[in-house]
Amino acid sequence: MAPPEETRTAVIDLGSNTFRLVVFAAAGRRWWKRVDEIYEPVRISAGMGPSGELQPAPMERALGAIDVFAHFCRAAGVDEVRAVATSAIREATNRDAFLARARARSGLDIDVLSRTAEAFYGYVAAVNSTTLADGVVLDIGGGSMQLTHVVGRASREVESWRMGAVRMTERFLPDERASKKQLRALTDHVARKLAEAPWLAEIGDAGRLVGLGGSVRTLAVAAEKAADMPSFGVQGFALERGALDELIAELAALPAPERRRVPGIKPERSDLILAAAVVIQGVMEAGGFDALEVTEAGLREGIFLATQLAPADPPLVPDVRGASVRNLAAQYDADERHAQHVAGLALSMFDSLAAAGLHPGDPEERDLLWAAGLLHDIGTTVDYDDHHRHSRYLILNAGLPGFTPREVALIGQIARYHRKGTPAMGDLKPLMVKGDQELLDRCSALLRVAEQLERARDQTVHAARVEVENGRVRLALVADEEVPVARWAAERQSDVFERAFGRTLEIAEVKA
């Protein structure tokens, strides 16, 4: 089968703060990824005030940027363009005149998203980049803040408030220093507004909160740094309530221009981040959430995915964790049949050893082993030498939506130890929880034996039957022919196996 043609979709997002163009490439449903991005800090809502009218200077900046974006799409060979505007333009009294000028100048049709549509795309991004099934999606931009109530992965209630970071800053925290009184007024305003969504208070303990948008990501980076955690992005990071409260206290104590001194707070967010943090705190308070789970996907990914998954309605990837592992694997040249066969052999040994009582057989651990199996060789794209280290680098840096940073770290380390060395977490240790060293030992050992059984990459070892007798594990290799390479290679892994399972490993061959 010929590989599917690569197509490019541009999503243009005219936000209250920044105008942004993102290009997504996809090969059918095999893989997709972001491949280009340009942006301009237009601040179109600057100086709008109570009149609700876009001002001449910001409008000129906006039209210039839109023109550049339109040229970019034509020049860069994009197959499809989706341009949307959100709250600042949506609510401007002179929006129609502005849109007409934008169309005349650039030829672009701009779709002004309703509050509901905007929230919907945020919801699509969140449920396709996390394992959220029941709870709330929070999306905070410059102009507005949306909450979507999610039940069984479906969107139930949707609410949108004009409580974006720019709006709340201008209204409640306009001065360099935020007084206690001002902060209290903002907190009260948020609480009062949120009371309009009574379902929020009724979410209960089982419900999770997933957040998206630049402010959420910035706060997550700051919390990671405050906790001195190794960071390779904030996808899946859990921003805990206590950590958010501490950040707010730290930010509020500083004048706005100096908030950038808090590690992780970028200069361009320095003046808006405090208001955003207080709004998020209000949502956590109102819904009784202990943590906000962060996703790096947002409105733009939501729009792209809705297009990509159409006509599915709602546009849901059936298995987020599986899809993101397969998506990453498919982006590399690695030998897919080999990787799948290795993953299959590793999982079958995992299951047999669990059935024999040699380990707990935790399903989450099984997921990680499978993911590492599929991804163990992607590093060969960088260089054959040290490709286990390169696989780890690629896994950590590309990220795996649906997994927490700890889980991604474990997948990376399992892949890193698929050839040699004594499994350890190294500089990712701060992410570990109790039992992770044993998990890493088990998964590395199984992946390593499976890799060696598939050393010639020809799938001749169909299966490896596990027989546990007293102090040893006998692995019977099932194949149609003799498999001296597999046997030779797998025998070298007895030490790592013994370390993980406390049994010696013996390899035998049996005819299929």
Q: Which residues bind a copy of itself (CB under 8 A)?
A: 33-38, 64, 67-68, 71-72, 75-77, 233, 331-332, 380-386, 390, 393-394, 397-399, 455-458, 460, 482-485, 488-489
- The owner of tokens 């499994």 is 423
Specify the DSSP class assigned to residue 1: -
Residue among 34 and 429 whose Cβ is closer to a copy of itself: 34
CB of 419 to a copy of itself, least distance (A): 11
CB of 388 to a copy of itself, least distance (A): 12
Residue among 398 and 425 whose Cβ is closer to a copy of itself: 398
Residue among 33 and 82 whose Cβ is closer to a copy of itself: 33
CA dihedral 450, 453, 455, 458 (to 10 degrees): -110
CB of 65 to a copy of itself, least distance (A): 8
CB of 320 to a copy of itself, least distance (A): 18
Residue among 12 and 244 whose Cβ is closer to a copy of itself: 12
Residue among 181 and 511 whose Cβ is closer to a copy of itself: 511
Instruction: Please state, in angstroms and as integers, the Cα–Cα distance from residue 22 to each residue in 4, 15, 83, 110, 306, following that order.
Output: 22, 13, 10, 15, 15
Q: Which two tokens stand for residue 303?
A: 């729009």
Specify the DSSP class assigned to residue 157: E
Residue among 38 and 151 whose Cβ is closer to a copy of itself: 38
Residue among 34 and 261 whose Cβ is closer to a copy of itself: 34
Residue among 88 and 394 whose Cβ is closer to a copy of itself: 394
Q: Are strands 461-469 and 472-479 parallel, antiparallel or unpaired?
A: antiparallel
User: Residue 347 — φ and ψ, nearest 5°?
Assistant: -65, -35
Closest CA to 139 of 173, 111, 115: 115
CB of 132 to a copy of itself, least distance (A): 22
CB of 112 to a copy of itself, least distance (A): 24
CB of 248 to a copy of itself, least distance (A): 27
Closest CA to 446 of 424, 428, 423: 423
CB of 499 to a copy of itself, least distance (A): 19
Distance CA 25, CA 36 (A): 9
Residue among 447 and 466 whose Cβ is closer to a copy of itself: 447
> Contacts by 248-256 with C-beta closer than 8 Å and gap 24+?
248/274, 248/277, 248/278, 248/281, 251/277, 252/178, 252/183, 255/176, 255/177, 256/173, 256/175, 256/176, 256/177, 256/178
CB of 74 to a copy of itself, least distance (A): 8
Contacts (Cβ under 8 Å, ≥6 apart) of 319:
none
Instruction: Please state, in angstroms and as integers, the Cα–Cα distance from residue 301 to each residue in 6, 10, 32, 298, 403, following that order.
Output: 17, 11, 11, 5, 18
Closest CA to 207 of 138, 142, 306: 138
Q: Are 267 and 260 in contact (CB under 8 A)?
A: yes
Closest CA to 108 of 199, 2, 195, 14: 14
Grouping H, G, I as helix, E, B as strand and the rest as coil, residue 341 is helix
CB of 242 to a copy of itself, least distance (A): 29
Instruction: Please state, in angstroms and as integers, the Cα–Cα distance from residue 335 to each residue in 216, 329, 332, 339, 416, following that order.
Output: 38, 10, 9, 6, 17
Residue among 35 and 191 whose Cβ is closer to a copy of itself: 35
Let me know how many helices (H) and strands (E) the chain has, helices first.
Answer: 18, 14
